[in-house]
Structure 1
Amino acid sequence: MTTRLAVGDQAPDFTLSDADDKPVSLAEYRGRKVIVYFYPAASTPGCTKQACDFRDNLAELNGEGIEVLGVSPDKPAKLAKFRDAEGLTFPLLSDPDKTVLQEWGAFGEKTMYGKTVTGVIRSTFLVDEEGRIEAAQYNVRATGHVAKLRKDLKI
């Protein structure tokens, strides 16, 4: 069973390559709140819907002092294509060996179409200014997720 993060836990630090193959570290965001969300695959219908939802709400989130980072197992070149095709304006990070996904509890067994499979568990976290988990949501829906997140976080 994958260990899941809970409110109050220290967010596991990471440094991953972005869509331009530049390193991005969670530590760079200390002093600011950041949403870290994990999704299965760039350019798939659900992941595209979710990424565009974050894109369309980014100004309001940034206005509340919240940054957004998307993480998937995709390689930087695929992330760049996805970013450019959808006009995404927040960093997409590559975790091809799934180390960060596992540390955050966002990779493991899940049910898909009635079958148990191993894969990325669509998950979203709000990390506070000190690097602690302020909200942890697992098995989130791609559609309507950002509206629910804003409601839950009162933003």
Structure 2
Amino acid sequence: MAIAVGSEAPDFTLKTQDEKEWKLSDHRGKNVVLLWYPLDWSPTCTKENCKISAEPVLAGDDTVVVGISRDSTWSHKAWKNAEKISHDLLADPMLQVTKQFGLEHPAVPFISQRATVIVDKQGKVAFCGIQESTGDERDWAPIQDALKAL
């Protein structure tokens, strides 16, 4: 079951594509958009991450956006460089953080669902949305509305 809106977001530390530690609590005071996606290099995941980089769909001075998947840091780095992705990509190879947020894929348990969690400036979950059809791009409007409401 996905994490509940209003609950405290579990703190976590994952490695970025550059092997740097990225810790959720280090971003308190900003809204953090956590974008889970199944796999680097796949068509829908590429389309979404490139869209975030090319268009201001989730832009804001007080907003941090990161992608999270089970892929390795080296895969993230190669994909980020090849596709010119501007935000950090976090590696969750054993799906530990994915499981903390209740976002493992029910039909394919070795990947995450395509999901979005917004953690507000105080560390609470302000939004949680799951794209039911993994192959479809997520609906950006509710995510943008949730960010505007913060």
TM-score w.r.t. length of structure 1: 0.84
Residue in structure 2 matching 1:146, options 133, 140, 144: 140
Q: 1:53, 1:146 within 8 Å by CA — same for their partners in 2? A: no
Which runs of 5 or more structure 2 residues have no equivalent in the other structure?
none
Determine helix, strand or coil for the equivalent of 1:136: strand
Task: Determine which structure has the larger strand proportion and give its number.
Answer: 1
- Equivalent AA in structure 1 for residue 37 of structure 2: Y
Determine helix, strand or coil for the equivalent of 2:60: helix
Q: Equivalent residue for 1:120?
A: 112
Q: Note closer, same or farther for the CA distance 1:56–1:98 as it changes in structure 2 (3 Å cut).
A: same
Q: 1:124, 1:140 within 8 Å by CA — same for their partners in 2? A: no
Q: Does 1:96 align with 2:93?
A: yes
Q: CA RMSD in A?
A: 2.0
Counterpart Cα distance in 2 of 1:144 and 1:53: 11
Q: Note closer, same or farther for the CA distance 1:15–1:46 as it changes in structure 2 (3 Å cut).
A: same
Counterpart Cα distance in 2 of 1:58 and 1:83: 18
Counterpart Cα distance in 2 of 1:151 and 1:55: 19
Q: Residue 152 of structure 1: CA displacement?
A: 5.0
TM-score w.r.t. length of structure 2: 0.87
- CA deviations 1:50-103 (Å, max 9, x no partner) are 11122123486224x211011000000000011101111111000001100111
- Equivalent AA in structure 1 for residue 88 of structure 2: P
Which runs of 5 or more structure 1 residues have no equivalent in the other structure?
111-116
Determine helix, strand or coil for the equivalent of 1:20: coil
Residue in structure 1 matching 2:82, options 81, 85, 90: 85
Q: 1:102, 1:108 within 8 Å by CA — same for their partners in 2? A: no
